């Protein structure tokens, strides 16, 4: 594990956002959803997330998650991902979202 400085950590824009919409992403190589997330003053952004094992489309809207919003856009199939959805792999390698258990303002920075 490489150690980082506090200044390195401060560069990461890890922000709270609320999922507004979720849709299937059939063009992705691995099963995934497209997520539309409101990051408050940082705007509404889209990303792809391989979270189909633990989440249905119906349960995602309204969920607050943590995302990295200062990576460059990344093309995934025919889609441009605008932020990184964060999560942890379970014992099978399936992703569990990094979620927020009490409401915070969209756009809040992880501190």
Domain 13-97 sits in CATH 2.40.50.140: yes
Distance CA 99, CA 63 (A): 7
The predicted structure's pLDDT at residue 94: 96
- pLDDT under 70 in the chain at which residues? none
The predicted structure's pLDDT at residue 3: 96
**SS3 assignment, position 91:** coil
The predicted structure's pLDDT at residue 84: 97
Distance CA 61, CA 66 (A): 14
The predicted structure's pLDDT at residue 47: 98
pTM above threshold 0.85: yes
The predicted structure's pLDDT at residue 98: 96
């Amino acid at each position: 594990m490489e150690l980082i400085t506090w200044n390195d950590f401060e560069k990461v824009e890890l922000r709270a956002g609320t999922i507004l919409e979720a849709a299937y992403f059939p063009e992705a190589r691995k099963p995934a959803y497209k997520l539309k997330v409101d990051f408050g003053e940082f705007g509404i952004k889209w990303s792809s997330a391989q979270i189909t094992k633990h989440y249905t489309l119906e349960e995602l809207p309204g969920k607050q998650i943590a995302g990295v919003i200062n990576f460059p856009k990344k093309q995934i199939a025919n889609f441009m991902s605008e932020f990184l959805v964060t999560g942890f792999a379970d014992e099978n390698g399936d992703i569990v979202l990094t979620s927020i258990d009490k409401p915070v303002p969209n756009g809040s920075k992880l501190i």
